[in-house]
């Protein structure tokens, strides 16, 4: 935790005592030292708070004198054998100091943060060890004007917290909540609520780029999220602005929730490779070609992406991509690590296995059903219990038994239902109320869809029928059409392929908007933020999250 009001207390030395009145508590400090991470240095100091002896002058546990780190031995820790540095530290405390309950860390570096993994103390009286699991960033005191405090690995409910740690626990939570004002800085550990007020491009004043704020009204106070941008004060309230960089990394996330430098470098390396391999060649092709005729066939697309190289012929990373990446990254160390990783692992994407043997395999019904089940959004596939399917308003689907019974391997619809063989991917009810507005405003044609699937004996799914629907312009009804599997090359075959494409669009949109954003970010994030704001690191629930 980061406690501003504790900084003055930590700068005060305890009363001077005779040397024989002190006992020594030896400890081990482990710090990560991946490529690009700084090491603590001689100016980093540690202190201990007692959990059993209360200082009535401060309302907190007694505080030890500062102790510097000694040595520094290269080690490896964790399941992934992360590169670490292990230091030794010795605290001199008075004989009745009691049991340490918190360790204070003051990062004396000028600019660089360190990643502290853990601190372990060996008590001289009874040979016990006390562990402080940290796994957290500690920023320079010069930036934070505060020390970091880590509690021992013992959980307490609020009313059972030792008196010597109660105030520290309360100060921790207050610091994590922040005051709801101002711009968040990289080194702050603040879990601050905000509305979705940065949708679209809030810096532009025209209606085409602005988006309404989600949440924050008396009727709809949610969704809420963690504040991630810089506040802009405008006539219509407070909105957040975002960087215009190609890769937007210039937004606030509490330090302990960010990617580690190594993980960030891995993600960026993959992004650079993907841009170099896919986006850059296609962009150049579009610039050279007539836009109307630039996309002639899937064969052309496959040739552009794969056929001009083999897996053993890596592609040189586009220099322009690296230049833009360098301008986008706030840390030069991260850029250097990405550059190193890109050189060591050049782009070598092979032809995807699905189309390696048969270029048109992606068109098949088997592949369509396989991707539906193995893709991003399989949880929306449900077992069909009523036939024909019925919408929430009570209207039956236009799919009939005659449409599908010839494909049920000798079964009737009733028998297939009884054997739990029929499944449905239903993107109908939630889309229908919005289709008229979407199609009118966006100038596109989006359909609501229902896809029936049959579970075969070999455990795979087979699409049986697709129903595409639009609202009726004349009444409250709808216009629907059923499409059935058909041979490629025929008119019905092309219509069936287009129907499958509409289903894939629905499925992708549902994943992004509902499964990913609504049910993950908009629903779960407020609980995560509330946990960080109201349950201290010593709370039993916090320690098991």
Closest CA to 62 of 97, 104, 27: 97
- 342 and 276, same structural domain? yes
CATH of the domain at 44: 2.60.60.20
- 473 and 341, same structural domain? no
For position 48, what pLDDT does the model report?
95
Task: Examine the fold and report which residue of 177, 211, 230 is the final residue of a domain before the chain moves on.
Answer: 177
Cβ atoms of residues 131 and 151 within 8 Å: no
Is 10 among the domain residues?
no
Name the 3-class secondary structure at 120: strand
Is 426 among the domain residues?
yes
Closest CA to 138 of 101, 173, 106, 174: 106
Closest CA to 106 of 147, 145, 47, 72: 147
Closest CA to 24 of 80, 74, 77, 94: 94
Is 534 among the domain residues?
no
Is 544 among the domain residues?
no
- 316 and 367, same structural domain? no
Q: Report how far residue 275's alpha carbon sits from residue 323's, in angstroms, rounded to the nearest whole number.
A: 13
| Helix 319-328 with 332-344: angle, nearest 10 deg | 150
- For residue 137, the surrounding DSSP H or E stretch is strand 129-138
For position 42, what pLDDT does the model report?
84
| Helix 319-328 with 261-274: angle, nearest 10 deg | 140
- Written as one string, the DSSP assignment of 411-466 is --HHHHHHTT-EEEEEESTTTHHHHHHHHHHH-----EEEEEEEE-TTS-EEEEEE
Is 118 among the domain residues?
yes
Residues 445-454 have pLDDT tens digits of 899 999 999 9
Q: Domain residues for 324? A: 261-287+310-349
Task: Examine the fold and report which residue of 134, 149, 177 is the final residue of a domain before the chain moves on.
Answer: 177
232 compared with 80, residue with greater pLDDT = 80
Examine the pLDDT at 235 and tell me if it is beyond 50. no
Residues 336-356 have pLDDT tens digits of 777 777 776 666 556 667 766
- 373 and 507, same structural domain? yes
Cβ atoms of residues 462 and 456 within 8 Å: yes
Examine the pLDDT at 360 and tell me if it is beyond 80. no
- 490 and 399, same structural domain? yes
CA 59 to chain centroid, in Å, comes to 39
- 367 and 336, same structural domain? no
Cβ atoms of residues 239 and 202 within 8 Å: yes
Region 2-17: mean pLDDT is: 45
21 compared with 545, residue with greater pLDDT = 21
Is 9 among the domain residues?
no
Residues 299-333 have pLDDT tens digits of 666 665 555 445 455 555 556 667 766 666 666 66
- 365 and 506, same structural domain? yes
For position 99, what pLDDT does the model report?
93
Name the 3-class secondary structure at 30: strand
Cβ atoms of residues 468 and 480 within 8 Å: yes
For position 14, what pLDDT does the model report?
45
| Structural domains of the chain, count | 3
Residues 474-530 have pLDDT tens digits of 777 888 999 999 987 788 989 999 999 999 999 999 999 999 999 888 888 888 889
- 335 and 372, same structural domain? no
The model's pTM is 0.75
Is 385 among the domain residues?
yes
Residues 370-414 have pLDDT tens digits of 989 888 888 899 999 999 999 887 888 999 999 999 989 889 999
For position 113, what pLDDT does the model report?
87
Spell out the long-range contacts of 468-475 with Cβ–Cβ below 8 A and sequence spacing 24 or more: 468/499, 468/502, 469/428, 469/432, 470/435, 470/439, 471/432, 471/435, 471/436
Region 111-135: mean pLDDT is: 89
Region 160-166: mean pLDDT is: 93
Examine the pLDDT at 118 and tell me if it is beyond 90. yes
- 461 and 365, same structural domain? yes
Region 106-114: mean pLDDT is: 88
Please give the structure tokens belonging to residue 166: 């109660």
Task: Examine the fold and report which residue of 177, 192, 223 is the final residue of a domain before the chain moves on.
Answer: 177
Residues 414-449 have pLDDT tens digits of 999 999 999 999 999 999 998 888 888 767 789 999
Closest CA to 38 of 104, 101, 88, 85: 85
- 268 and 368, same structural domain? no
Is 212 among the domain residues?
no
Q: Report how far residue 282's alpha carbon sits from residue 262's, in angstroms, rounded to the nearest whole number.
A: 30
For position 5, what pLDDT does the model report?
41
- 398 and 342, same structural domain? no
- At residue 291 the predicted structure's pLDDT band, cuts being 50, 70 and 90, is very low
- 483 and 370, same structural domain? yes
CATH of the domain at 456: 3.10.450.60
């Amino acid at each position: 935790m980061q406690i501003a009001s504790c900084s003055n207390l930590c700068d005060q030395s305890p009363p001077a005592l005779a040397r024989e009145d002190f006992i020594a508590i030896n400890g081990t400090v482990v710090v990560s030292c991946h490529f690009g991470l700084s090491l603590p240095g001689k100016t980093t100091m540690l202190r201990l708070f007692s959990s059993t002896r209360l200082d009535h002058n401060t309302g907190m546990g007694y505080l030890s004198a500062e102790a510097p780190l000694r040595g520094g031995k290269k080690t490896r820790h964790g399941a992934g054998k992360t590169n670490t540095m292990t230091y030794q530290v010795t605290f001199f405390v008075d004989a009745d100091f009691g049991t340490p309950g918190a360790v204070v860390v003051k990062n004396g570096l000028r600019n660089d943060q360190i990643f502290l993994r853990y601190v372990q103390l060996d008590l001289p009286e009874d040979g016990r060890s006390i562990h402080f699991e940290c796994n957290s960033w500690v920023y320079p005191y010069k930036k934070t004007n505060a020390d970091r405090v880590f509690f021992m690995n013992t959980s307490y409910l609020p009313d059972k917290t030792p008196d010597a740690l109660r105030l520290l626990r309360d100060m921790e939570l207050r610091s994590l909540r922040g005051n709801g004002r101002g711009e968040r800085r990289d080194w702050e550990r603040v879990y601050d609520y905000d509305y979705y007020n940065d949708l679209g491009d809030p810096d532009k004043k025209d209606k085409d780029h602005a988006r309404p704020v989600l949440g924050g009204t008396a009727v709809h106070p949610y969704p809420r999220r963690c504040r991630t941008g810089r506040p802009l004060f405008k006539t219509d309230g407070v909105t957040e602005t975002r960087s215009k960089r190609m890769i937007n990394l210039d937004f606030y996330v509490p330090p302990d929730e960010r990617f580690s430098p190594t993980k960030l470098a891995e993600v960026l390396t993959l992004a650079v490779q993907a841009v170099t391999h896919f986006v850059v060649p296609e962009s150049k092709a579009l610039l050279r070609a007539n836009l109307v005729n630039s996309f002639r066939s899937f064969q052309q697309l496959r040739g552009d992406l794969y056929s001009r190289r083999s897996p053993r012929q890596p592609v040189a990373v586009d220099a322009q991509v690296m230049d833009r990446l360098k301008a986008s990254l706030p840390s030069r160390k991260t850029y250097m690590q990405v550059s190193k990783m890109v050189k060591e692992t050049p782009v070598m994407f092979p032809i995807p296995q699905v189309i390696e043997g048969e270029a048109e395999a992606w068109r098949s019904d088997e592949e369509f059903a396989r991707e539906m089940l193995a893709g991003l959004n399989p949880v929306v596939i449900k077992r069909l219990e009523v036939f024909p399917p019925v919408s929430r308003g009570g209207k039956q689907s236009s799919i009939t038994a005659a449409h599908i019974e010839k494909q049920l391997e000798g079964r009737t619809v009733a028998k297939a239902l009884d054997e739990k063989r029929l499944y449905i991917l239903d993107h109908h009810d939630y889309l229908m109320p919005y289709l008229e507005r979407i199609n009118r405003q966006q100038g596109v044609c989006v359909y609501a869809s229902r896809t029936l699937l049959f579970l075969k004996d070999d455990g795979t799914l087979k699409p049986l029928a697709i129903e595409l629907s639009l609202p009726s312009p004349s009444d409250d009804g709808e216009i629907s059409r059923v499409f059935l599997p058909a041979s490629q090359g025929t008119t019905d075959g092309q219509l069936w392929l287009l129907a499958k494409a509409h289903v894939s669009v629905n499925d992708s949109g549902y994943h992004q908007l509902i499964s990913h954003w609504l049910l993950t970010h908009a629903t779960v994030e407020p609980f995560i933020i509330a946990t960080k704001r109201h349950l201290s690191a010593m709370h039993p629930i916090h320690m098991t999250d």
